[in-house]
Amino acid sequence: MPRDTRLLSARFPRSSRYHPEWLIASASGAANPLWIAEWLAEEMDLRPGMRVLDLGCGRAASSIFLHREFGAQVWAVDLWFNASENLQRIRDAGVEESVFPLHADARALPFAEEFFDAIVGIDSFVYYGTDDLYLNYLARFVKPGGQIGIAGAGLLREIEGPLPEHLQEWWTQDHWCLHSVTWWRRHWDRTGIVDIQLAGTLPDGWHLWLDWLRAVAPENDQEIHVLEADRGDYLGYLRLVSRRRQGKLSEPVLSLSVPPHYEKRQLLREGGSDVPPRARGI
């Protein structure tokens, strides 16, 4: 029987050990989760026993990979994919004691402050991390000195002016969350919360995106056509790795002191009319 060479890549030797059928069944986005996790992990200090948050983990393939390859304990958190299905995938991979699936919103995480040694976002951060306040919220869950790393689909340069014609057939409103590595560096750097250790793009990332798409969704002619037309002009993969600085973070707006329950108060000042404006013909 001939060897199955799908998704083999000399660039990603760790990922190439995993069966293509398992990987394709674990697909959840525009990037091979193992390629992206391996690329990101090259620049992160992941060690056995570390507590790692895999935020927006999809079907938890990256979480399984991070434990098997680096020995980390991984919390596999996702809002869109079923935690029970992910648990079954984790059990079948034999890592149930070290990979913990959880259904949660990235903006309402159920963890103690400084619980994690590292946080990663594998092809997911664009969907929740563009908010100017989000890094301040997320960073509280990693220890000072701990790493925050993201990698996945993005822009190689920002779109200035009208949308390029060759992108128009594919581009929808949700694609405006895609940004360049320069944009992300500025987005994080100006907060003063982290020290950015690395920010860059993956050479020929668009071609790897195309290879992945042809393997998992060959019927997606529109996206395939757009990638072929773009040829890495705008579309590709990017990564950022940072460390949380020492010091106290700003408290989230929701944690400010507000009355915990409704109490009736006088509506109008003395002498004010009790008749609404419409009833007075205004």
Q: Does domain 15-280 have CATH number 3.10.129.10?
A: no
**Residues counted in the chain:** 282
The pTM assigned to this predicted structure is 0.90
**Three-class SS state of 186:** helix
Average pLDDT over residues 10-16: 97
On the question of pLDDT at 1 being above 80, the answer is no
Q: Rounded CA gap, 150 and 14, in Å? A: 19
**What does the pLDDT look like over 94-151, one tens digit per residue?**
999 999 999 999 999 999 999 999 999 999 999 999 999 999 999 999 999 999 999 9
Q: How far is it, in rounded angstroms, from Cα 64 to Cα 73? A: 10
CA distance 63 to 46: 13
Domain ranges of the chain: 15-280
The pLDDT tens digits for 15-43 are 999 999 999 999 998 999 999 999 999 99
Element (H, E) at 63: helix 61-70
In this prediction, residues 167-176 reach a mean pLDDT of 96
Given strand 73-78, what is the order of strands in its sheet? 99-103, 73-78, 51-55, 116-122, 142-155, 235-244, 194-201
More confident site: 14 or 276:
14
In terms of Cα–Cα distance, which of 35, 209, 42, 54 is closest to 117?
A: 54
Q: What percent of the chain clears pLDDT 90, i.e. is strictly above it? A: 86
CA distances from 97 to 22, 91, 120 (A): 20, 9, 20
What percent of the chain is modeled with pLDDT above 70? 93
